[in-house]
Amino acid sequence: MFYLALVSLIWAFSFGLIKRYLGGVHPAFVAWARMTIALPLFLPFLKLKKLPPRLALHLAALGAVQYGLMYVSYLWAFRYLDAYLVALFTIFTPLYVGLIAALFSRRFRTVWLVSAVLAVAGAAVVIYRGGAGEGGWKGFFLMQFSNLCFAFGQVEYKRIRPRFAAFADREVYALLYLGAAAVTAAGTSLLGGWVSPADLGGEQVLVIIYLGVLASGLCFFWWNLGAVIVNPGRLAVFNNVKIPLAVAAAVIVFGETAYWPGLLVGAALMAAGIWLAREKNRDREYV
C-alpha cells in the first residue's frame, strides 16, 4: 500500500504541471518524451535470457496500451479540460478495473450498468454546470479511453505476473516502456507532432524530464508493483486517492477556478457509482 499512497501524492501535482507548462506542446510528443526518458531507468536491469519471446512481446504490447495509448489520449484531454477536470474524470478508472476483471472471470454483474449510469450522470453535471460544453465532452471521452487503457494494464499485469515469477519486476519492466515508446513514436509521426528541443522553453524541458523520470518512470513501476500486492477493492480506492489531492493542487497551487456547486454534486454522483460497483466486488480477485 505504501507504493500506491506515494504515487498518488506525486501524481496529484502532475495534472497542474502539464496544463500550465505543456499545454501548447503536441500531446503525442509529450507522451513519447516521457516514455523515452523512462526507458533507460530500467534497461540496466532487463533480463531477456530465459524469458520466452512471446511473453516479452506480450509485456511490450501491454506497455503500449497501458502507457502509450493511455498517455496520448490523457494528454490530449488537456486541450479541452482544466487540470482539475482531467483529474476528476480519472475517477472512472476503478469502475473499469472491476469491469475488466469481471469480464476476465466471466462474472459480469448488472450493477456495473447502474454504476456507469450514475458516474456518467455525475460527469454531465460537472461538464454542463462548469460551462465546458462540447469541448468538455471531447475531453471526457478522451479521458475514458485513457482510463480504459490504464485499467486494462493494471488487470493484465496482475493476471500474467505468475508467468514470469522467476523474474523481479524491475528485470522485465523496460519491455513495457519500450512498447510505450514505440507506439507513442508512431503516433507522433502519424499526427505530425514532432517538436525540436530548441523550440521548448527551459521550464518545459525540466517539467518533461521530471515527468519522465519520476511521474512516469518510477511511479508507473511502483504502481504496478502495488497493484500486484493488494486486492481489487483496495486498488480501486487508491485509483481515486489522487483525485481530491489533484483537484486541490490545481485550484490552490496552480490557480485554476472551479464551479464548486456543480463540481461537488457531480463528484458525489460519480463517487456513488464507483462505490456501488466496489461494494459488490470488494474482495474479488482477478482471474
Instruction: Kindly report the pTM of this predicted structure.
Output: 0.84
What pLDDT shows up at residue 160? 92
281's grid cell = 466486488
The residue with cell 522553453 is: 201
Using CA atoms, how far apart are residues 198 and 215, in angstroms rounded to an integer? 23
pLDDT 10s digits, 97-135: 777 877 777 766 666 666 666 666 766 666 665 555 567
Rounded distance between C-alpha atoms, residue 239 and residue 7, angstroms: 10
How much is the pLDDT for 286? 36
Asked if 8 and 226 touch (Cβ cutoff 8 Å), the reply is no
pLDDT of residue 4: 84
Q: What is the DSSP letter of 276?
A: H
Q: Where are the domains of the chain?
A: 2-280
pLDDT at 177: 96
Cα separation, 277 vs 96, in Å, equals 10
- Cα–Cα distance for residue pair 18/261, rounded to 1 Å: 26
Q: Quote the DSSP letter at residue 286.
A: P
What's the pLDDT at 98? Answer: 74
Nearest CA to 196 among 29, 6, 8? 29
User: What's residue 142's pLDDT?
Assistant: 95
Which amino acid would we find at residue 100?
I
Q: Which residue has the cell 519500450?
A: 178
Q: What is the DSSP letter of 51?
A: S
Taken in order 243, 245, 251, 255, the sign of the CA dihedral is: negative
Residues in Cβ contact with 204 at an 8 Å cutoff, skipping those fewer than 6 apart: 21, 22, 25
From first to last of its 287 residues, what are the pLDDT tens digits of the chain? 678 888 988 998 999 999 999 988 999 999 999 999 999 999 999 999 889 999 999 999 999 999 999 999 999 999 998 888 888 888 788 778 777 877 777 766 666 666 666 666 766 666 665 555 567 889 989 999 999 999 899 889 988 999 999 999 999 999 999 999 999 999 999 999 999 888 899 999 999 999 999 999 999 889 888 877 776 666 666 776 677 777 788 888 888 876 677 667 777 776 776 676 655 444 444 33
Please report the pLDDT score of residue 83 as a whole number: 87
| Number of residues that this document lists for the chain | 287
Structure confidence at residue 287 (pLDDT): 36
How big is the CA angle at 37 (ends 5 and 172), to the nearest 5 degrees?
A: 70
